[in-house]
Amino acid sequence: MEPNQAAEHLQTIRTLMERTAIYRRALAPVMTYCGMVGILGGVVGDWLPLHAARPFVLFWTAVAITALTGSFLLVRRQALKDSEPFWSPPTRRVTQALIPGLVVGVLSGLILMYANPDWNDCWSIVPVWCVLFGLAVHSAGFFMPHGLKLFGWIFMVAGCSLVVVLGGKMINPISAALVFQPHWLMGAIFGGLHLAYGIYLYFTEKRGQAL
């Protein structure tokens, strides 16, 4: 490793350690925003309705892009507020950690949609998205507060659990009902978990300031 690269890595690690509280504070509005977008997406997607496979994948891809764009704008606003550069080395590290899982998630939906014209089981992509998103968040957690890695694990466990629950749809009335409500399923998992984490961060940050 060249001396310049080693110095940059050390500076990045030092910056991440020094700014853990700042990143935790920035995460609260980001998670709350993503939660609201996810829940709204579940309501709108079911109301339109978009229950065929192709509209389902395209709609939730658009929802994900909306959530990511809004998140980066919120992080940028926080950086400007703290008089810090937005595209800093730590921000680049977090983005690089997130990209592989998110890109594979998008590609998996598009491949299922176009490679198999007869595919119409919208619910079957939901566990895949949960696991891949959990992996992306867990990777980013190495550069952020430790709770983010646990948040990623929750998504991975939720995705694996869905495979078990939804796999028995022919004998389980509850899982059968979930199969026919894929938008509510997406809204509850992605929207509900993000919103819950955002609320948790908000109240724990307030409590930390009081102490």
CB 145 within 8 A of CB 20: yes
Mean pLDDT within 71-92: 74
Token couple for 145: 């507060």
Report the C-alpha gap between 140 and 19 in whole angstroms: 15
Q: How confident is the model at residue 206 (pLDDT cuts 50, 70, 90)?
A: low
Place of tokens 């935790």: 24
75 vs 86, higher pLDDT: 75
Place of tokens 């992306």: 136
Token couple for 174: 């509850």
Report the C-alpha gap between 89 and 87 in whole angstroms: 7
> Who contacts 121 (Cβ-Cβ below 8 Å, separation ≥6)?
53, 179
pLDDT digits (tens, 9 = 90+) for 154-176: 999 999 988 887 765 544 555 55
Query: Is the predicted pLDDT of residue 121 greater than 90, yes or no?
Result: no
Percentage of the chain modeled with pLDDT above 90: 36
Which of 55-69, 77-91, 164-178 ranks highest by mean pLDDT?
Answer: 55-69
Domain encompassing residue 57: 3-210
What are φ and ψ of residue 173, in 5° steps?
-60, -35
Report the C-alpha gap between 103 and 144 in whole angstroms: 20
CB 169 within 8 A of CB 185: no
How many domains are contained in the chain?
Answer: 1
Q: How confident is the model at residue 145 (pLDDT cuts 50, 70, 90)?
A: low
User: For residue 165, what is the enclosing H or E element?
Assistant: helix 147-167
Report the C-alpha gap between 164 and 196 in whole angstroms: 24
pLDDT at 209: 44
Alpha-carbon dihedral angle through residues 174, 152, 154, 180, given to the nearest 10 degrees? 0
